[in-house]
A and B are shown apart, each in its own frame.
Chain A
């Protein structure tokens, strides 16, 4: 038993060192693009973990999940960019230097707002069949996007299709993640690129999300969600308040989305409605489905695969694109991959590439 424990610790330690060193190795190639891909992949992992709470634990299909991401991103964009004070003289007068709220405060607000929006949205539909929920959430995602796209007139709030730029970077413990960080350690100096600094921030949040997901999964609430997923009527008969629990799942998932949105906005320093299309929502669903619905390592794997593979394809696909007269462009291949992931996985491996061992594990112990 002790050996097993030590073995686990060793694996854990190696994994931790590898994860911490990875961007430094990639950064050494001289280009930031690989670290950037990693950063985006981590954001997707965060999103997929959030959606996993809704789809995986509670069994509610949310097709508008990206809307919560959008809510978080735009909230931070509005509070952390000169856009509002440039547009409204009143705000300019109140905040001469721009609003620039503390990022952690904004993150809490974004999490809360996204969570509440999620609950408001879920309230009318959660008593109905899951199919309706899928359509309503899809519609909600589109509504948010259409509003973001058109709220530049008559009053310019979101700057419409042009999006909002010059968003603040995140500062952690006095370190501005948007600037290079030079470290002088025992006469050995090293430069951290901004993408690498963001990598560590995102990694922190992903680890936090994983820990939270595991804690949730084993908690009373998590077990209740799974009971609802397996058989709602039976769960109700066991005295669970299924409506409130489903609302909670919805709100909790949305919270994850909101926080990822804040991170995304400050990382890109630019948001526009284009980033929040239906396709993105479907992609996050595909990640959860591909990896293994409700199984955290699976979900992480699915997110990394679907976020990473298209980037690899981009490098390989150029000759293919030229050969097929632009028919097999990287974007199209990416979409093909996502679509196939959903259909083929459901047909051949409905529990995903890395499924959860089995439900009812308490029985086996």
Chain B
């Protein structure tokens, strides 16, 4: 029972990080129909930037409380990632918006690789340990243990999601985004500038990814240039699972995938009598994707799968 509770907590934490990244995928896909492969690497840049900022701030003012350092580092990482993603969209994706469907996809993969390479050049390829800036005393809940970092992750995710929902559903920008996703041409006729909306979408997605990156680094205590690719892919799977283009779906898919992975890792060994162990965790996401695409390609909450060739 304790194991179950523990795995559920771990799954929720993992899932909330997937959800934040999945939102970035799903918003971009909803508007321009592109799988932004580089999105996971934006998470990586966020994590590594915050790592650098934390190092600098700790040297500059050692007395500053940990949570303040973390907040400052997160904000700077968000700004850096927003600028980066804005630039990527402008330089690499915008010129290809009307090109054949293969071209933007290949560019996106190349961009992902390029970001990883630049990160290797700037930060060197070795893994770096990420400091734990919050209290290290774990909190016990009914036999399971949850760290302060994990509680913070869950709380931050809830706040971020609430803010995003407000942004998308209540503001002019959000309305413009939804309109562009629905039909870019008609939206443009209504006086919306699609380019501005798309840029805004990339910026918001990058900020969410930066937050997720800091969370990921804090939770696992290590940062490296390749850290973003797998979470990025899995978040994409989460977005597809929830119904790509659907914001609530991305959150549901993210949390569901987190739970599947965490419970799977905890119980796979027992279920298969030791034949398969937790080292197969990375496979779940792809199996889930194959199943979803076969049985319900529109996802759990999805309305449509656009067949734009």
Contacts and interface: CB of A to CB of B under 8 A. Distances in A.
B289 A136 contact: yes
A55 B102 contact: yes
Contacts of A286: 110
Given A125-B293, A350-B103, A282 B280 contact: no
B275 A154 contact: yes
A350 B99 contact: yes
A59 B283 contact: no
A251 B260 CA distance: 32
B92 A135 contact: no
B121 interface: yes
B121 A338 contact: no
Contact of B236 (A59, A135, A335): A135
B105 A131 contact: yes
Interface string B85-98: 00000011001100
Contacts of B104: 346
Interface residues of A, number: 48
Given A61-B106, A350-B99, A139 B114 contact: no
Contacts of B287: 143
B125 interface: yes
A150 B305 CA distance: 36
B157 to A, nearest CB: 24
B95 A335 contact: no
Given A130-B105, A282-B109, A342-B106, A328 B121 contact: yes
A346 B308 CA distance: 20
A57 to B, nearest CB: 12
A289 interface: yes
Contacts of B252: none
Contacts of B103: 346, 350
Nearest to B297: A128
Contacts of B236: 135
B101 interface: yes
A59 to B, nearest CB: 6
B77 interface: no
A340 B290 contact: no
A350 B279 CA distance: 40
B35 A135 contact: yes
B113 A327 contact: no
Most buried by B among A131, A286, A328, A350: A131
Given A335-B117, A343-B107, A130 B283 contact: no
Given A63-B109, A335-B116, A128 B305 contact: yes
B294 interface: yes
A135 B237 contact: yes
Contact of A136 (B92, B102, B109, B293): B293
User: How would you classify the secondary structure of chain B's contact residues: helix, strand, loop or mixed?
Assistant: helix
B123 to A, nearest CB: 9
Per DSSP, chain A at the interface is: helix
B114 A285 contact: no
Contacts of B9: none
Contacts of B113: 282, 335, 338-339, 342
Interface string B33-44: 001000000000
Contacts of A150: 277, 279-280
Given A125-B293, A342-B109, A135 B233 contact: yes
Contact of B92 (A59, A231, A347): A347
B169 to A, nearest CB: 27
A231 B309 contact: yes
Interface in B267-300: 274-275, 277, 279-280, 282-283, 285-287, 289-290, 293-294, 297
Contact of A59 (B99, B102, B237, B306): B102
Given A134-B35, A146-B283, A339 B114 contact: yes
A346 B106 contact: yes
Interface in B50-102: 91-92, 95-96, 99-102
Contacts of A135: 35, 233, 236-237, 240, 289
A315 interface: no
B137 interface: no
A149 B105 CA distance: 29
A135 B241 CA distance: 13
Interface in A226-267: 231-233
Given A154-B275, A327-B122, 5 more contacts: A142-B282, A143-B287, A146-B282, A289-B106, A343-B114
The 4 closest A-B pairs by CB, nearest first: A342-B110, A139-B286, A339-B113, A339-B114
Interface of A: 55, 59, 61, 63, 124-125, 128-132, 134-136, 138-140, 142-143, 146, 149-150, 154, 231-233, 278, 282, 285-286, 289, 293, 324, 326-328, 332, 335-336, 338-343, 346-347, 350
18 contacts: A124-B293, A129-B101, A129-B306, A129-B308, A131-B105, A134-B105, A136-B289, A138-B233, A142-B282, A143-B283, A149-B279, A285-B106, A326-B124, A327-B121, A339-B110, A342-B106, A343-B92, A346-B107
